[in-house]
Structure 1
Amino acid sequence: MTARRYLKPPWMQRKVGNVLAPLFRPAIVARLSVPGRRSGEWRTTPVVVLDHGGERYLVSVFGTTDWALDLRASGRGRLARQQRVEEFGAEEVPVGQRQPILDAYLARFAKMPHVEAAFRSLPDPADHPTFRLASARD
């Protein structure tokens, strides 16, 4: 087993940005909820969903985060954006298939706070858990 690669986001992002982003950027920022891998309690964090090649993806920008570990364990979650809540299934993208997805993510979201710096600090695709989303009905 390899060491967990994780960048703790700056305090300002965790305590202020994560609270305000869904309010000020509701068309881009969604609230992801996943059941905790140990407790089973639902945990929520802001994310952006990448639309790429007719599929939707979640990319863990800061490395192997708790939400990525929880989603890996459960394979399911909820996305809330504005007044809509969607349940989904998730499949982790193999490391060898991540680079085009990560490139598309950077092309679209590099200007968001700390995204480009996180990818510079963690350049290996293996450091960014990436999940393909499917509706709960699929």
Structure 2
Amino acid sequence: MMSTRQYVRPPWAARVIGSRMARLFKPDVVSLLSVPGRTTGVWRSTAVAVLTHRGEEYLLAAYGDTEWSRNLRACRTGRLTRRGRTDHFTAVEVDPAELPALVEAYLRQFGKLPTVDRTFQALPDPADHPAFRITITGHERA
């Protein structure tokens, strides 16, 4: 079945410069997500903001149905490098009914970051933003 979810390609500056710089200037906010590719199994990495909501951690695809969200949906496991260590985790995609509350919490926490508010204006339907509840399963030093 073909997905009807949307995707907004981040601007060049956000893709090429922003994600690298954000990890330097906002290390408490931006983490490095690594997920094995759904076809090749090769690990792919991208900068993300981890949402903490009601005592649990979530990854929310602000740009819509991204490659990392499709890879995570397929393998349900990954790594987050943050604050000098790497956390291994398992992920479960959240029920669509939970998405509006998660999008609202995401915008409260990260809406002031460059391009975030604009992205949610371009994709206003919470169903266009895959979200995953993550559970840390192990740690290693980065």
Q: Which residue of 2 aligns with 1:33?
A: 34
Comparing 64-73 and 3-12, the one that deviates more: 3-12
Q: Which residue of 2 aligns with 1:72?
A: 73
Q: Once the two structures are superposed, what CA deviation does each residue of 1:61-86 show, in whole Å capped at 9, x if it has no partner?
A: 00000000000000000000131100
Q: Which residue of 1 aligns with 2:47?
A: 46
Q: Once the two structures are superposed, what CA deviation does each residue of 1:12-70 show, in whole Å capped at 9, x if it has no partner?
A: 01111111111111111100000000010000000010111011001100000000000
Are positions 1:114 and 2:101 aligned together? no
TM superposition shift of 1:136: 1.8
Unpaired runs of 5+ residues, structure 2, are none
The CA distance in 1 between the partners of 2:117 and 2:62, in whole Å, is 9
Q: Once the two structures are superposed, what CA deviation does each residue of 1:111-135 show, in whole Å capped at 9, x if it has no partner?
A: 1111111111111111000000111
Q: Which residue of 2 aligns with 1:16?
A: 17
Q: Once the two structures are superposed, what CA deviation does each residue of 1:72-116 show, in whole Å capped at 9, x if it has no partner?
A: 000000000131100000000111111111100001110111111
Residue correspondences, number = 137
The CA distance in 2 between the partners of 1:9 and 1:81, in whole Å, is 22
The CA distance in 1 between the partners of 2:23 and 2:46, in whole Å, is 10
> Which contiguous aligned blocks of 4+ residues in structure 1 show a shift greater than 6 angstroms?
none
- On the 8 A contact 2:5/2:127 being kept in 1, the answer is no
When normalised by structure 2's length, the TM-score is 0.93
The CA distance in 1 between the partners of 2:118 and 2:39, in whole Å, is 31
Task: Look up the equivalent residue of 1:55 and give its one-letter code.
Answer: E
CA RMSD of the aligned region, Å? 1.0
Are positions 1:97 and 2:85 aligned together? no
